[in-house]
Chains A and B, each alone.
Chain A
Amino acid sequence: AQKITQTQPGMFVQEKEAVTLDCTYDTSDQSYGLFWYKQPSSGEMIFLIYQGSYDEQNATEGRYSLNFQKARKSANLVISASQLGDSAMYFCAMREGQFGNEKLTFGTGTRLTIIP
């Protein structure tokens, strides 16, 4: 069963607009974590933001924020004031497992293209 679902294979957004990338997850663990990574065309995976399952406030990192809705099992990434350099693949991932034995499960990604 798919544990991380990203339903938007591709998105086109005008520069300077805000964009929301969707992510839903499935887990029976009480303790888990949710991540967003950015993968530009160079291939490297760049960590953007993290949300722990017990964190009560939504995580924010500069222009990135994570809209965490635990009851709905969603962890959408919001990018404010998009820039041309934001064009990339974006992956949502979930951490499960015990301390020292964590594993990440990734979604299939969303390709974001910023239009000038």
Chain B
Amino acid sequence: SQTIHQWPATLVQPVGSPLSLECTVEGTSNPNLYWYRQAAGRGLQLLFYSVGIGQISSEVPQNLSASRPQDRQFILSSKKLLLSDSGFYLCAWSRPGQGIKQYFGPGTRLTVT
């Protein structure tokens, strides 16, 4: 069976500090991978998606970047966090060519102080 992991679960970081959130998927090959952000009380906003190693598409201009160094690993980064980067970050995967359903990870709650 497939599982998706995210860590850390919660993170409190000061403004201007770097960020690295990690997402890994087990039990499947060549998944499509997605990073979403959910601001408090809001819906999900797609930040990045990837259809393969090294292939990253950005949906919105922002202070964040994403990388996919391995097939089942997706990393969200920032060099300098802003207050507005606070939120709940969710990673998701879907089967390639069959994006009917996206499976979500448990999420990382980031607070920038």
Chain A interface (Cβ < 8 Å from any Cβ of B) = 4, 33, 35, 37, 42-45, 47, 50, 52, 91, 93, 95, 97, 99-109
Chain B interface (Cβ < 8 Å from any Cβ of A) = 32, 34, 36, 42-46, 49, 51, 59, 88, 90, 92, 94, 96-107, 109
> What's the least CB distance linking B107 to chain A, in Å?
5
Residues of the B chain whose Cβ atoms lie less than 8 Å from the Cβ of A102: 32, 94, 99
> What's the least CB distance linking B66 to chain A, in Å?
14
Q: Are A47 and B94 in contact, with the CB atoms below 8 A?
A: no
Q: Are A104 and B46 in contact, with the CB atoms below 8 A?
A: yes
What is the interface of chain B mostly: helix, strand, loop, or mixed? Answer: strand
Known: A50-B100, A95-B100. A105 touches B109 (CB 8 A): no
> What's the least CB distance linking A87 to chain B, in Å?
16
How far, in whole Å, are A91 and B102 apart by their CA atoms in the complex?
A: 13
